[in-house]
Amino acid sequence: MAIDYYPLQPNFLLDATKHDYSAVRVRTWQNENIRLSTGTHYGFVWQGQATLQRSSISMPFPLAAGMYFSLGESATLHGQDSAGMVVTDTAHQGQFLVGGPVESSGRFAYIDGGTTSLLIAPMTVGDPCLHALYMPPNVNQTMHHHPSDRIGLIIYGNGQCCTPEGDCQSLQPGILFRIPAYQEHKFVTRAQGLHLVVFHPDSDIGFSDRNHPMLRRTFIDNVSATELPNIQTPH
């Protein structure tokens, strides 16, 4: 499968991928309102000022450029003066979180001089997550692939995404992309570098009923509660 690229545009909808029986859909908005229905929505405001109105409470949440959110219920995104993307996992039940704006560099080392930050982390092993990726100027990244699809938005800089076959797509802010699982690719940056926000439909880190900070840091006679199954709450 080829890598797909789309310019950010009004009222765009893409049935992006299926992962472990979970359908993932992508929407973009540009100076319009969009209705978010079932599933968990991972959103990013690329430009302008938007407002998120949850269905469960009356208080609106203002969102400035560079901010992001996750939401596990229906809502209306008022985006008449903004543009951005929302990725929806129709089967996942996530939390309500608002953060940002994104920082200018990542908090974790990546590859080839790049850094990354977890914007919305997976609560449980296997959950979806939202990342920021920062590639420095004038880098020819190592060719690589991922075990699941990647959906992202270029938010700063310029460069290219290239495949082993020599197909290279120019990248600039406002370009939405979908990289299929196991598709080899690399980013090639220019003088500004390249910043991206990327959705992963799965993860191999996170917590579980038997491995989380509250349980691990509870001690009985200097023994962690993780080692005492007789007192652990049943699943």
| DSSP type of residue 211 | B
101, 65 in Cβ contact below 8 A?
Answer: yes
| Distance, first Cα to last Cα, the chain | 40
71, 52 in Cβ contact below 8 A?
Answer: yes
Residues 94 and 112 in one domain: no
Strands (E), 8-106: 12-19, 22-36, 40-54, 60-63, 68-71, 75-89, 97-99
In a domain, 222, yes or no: no
Q: Which of 99, 133, 164 is the last residue of a domain?
A: 99
Residues 126 and 54 in one domain: no
In a domain, 26, yes or no: yes
List the CATH number of the domain containing 18: 2.60.120.10
* Residue 62 domain boundaries: 7-99
Distance CA 96, CA 23 (A): 20
Within 8 A by CB and 6+ apart from 157, the residues are: 135, 173, 189, 190, 192, 193, 194, 195
β-strands 168-171, 150-162: how paired?
antiparallel
Residues 132 and 95 in one domain: no
Distance CA 3, CA 177 (A): 7
In a domain, 64, yes or no: yes
pTM strictly above 0.85? yes
β-strands 175-179, 168-171: how paired?
unpaired
35 burial via Cβ count (<10 Å: 0-12, 13-18, 19+)? exposed
Of all residues in the chain, what percent are helix, strand and coil, respectively (each to 5)? Answer: 5, 55, 40
Q: For position 22, what pLDDT does the model report?
A: 59
In a domain, 95, yes or no: yes
Q: For position 21, what pLDDT does the model report?
A: 45
Residues 114 and 194 in one domain: yes
* Nearest partner of 160 among 196, 199, 107, judged by Cα: 196
Q: For position 15, what pLDDT does the model report?
A: 75
Residues 72 and 114 in one domain: no
Tens digit of each residue's pLDDT, the chain (235 residues): 689 999 999 888 887 665 544 589 999 999 999 999 989 999 999 999 999 999 999 999 999 999 999 999 999 999 999 999 999 998 888 999 999 999 999 999 999 999 999 999 999 999 999 999 999 999 999 999 999 999 999 999 999 999 999 899 999 999 999 999 999 999 999 999 999 999 999 999 999 999 999 999 999 999 999 999 999 999 7
Residues 136 and 193 in one domain: yes
Angstrom CA distances, 226 to 98, 207, 208, 222, stand at: 31, 13, 11, 12
In a domain, 206, yes or no: no
β-strands 97-99, 108-109: how paired?
unpaired
Residues 37 and 17 in one domain: yes
Chain centroid, CA 11 distance in Å: 20
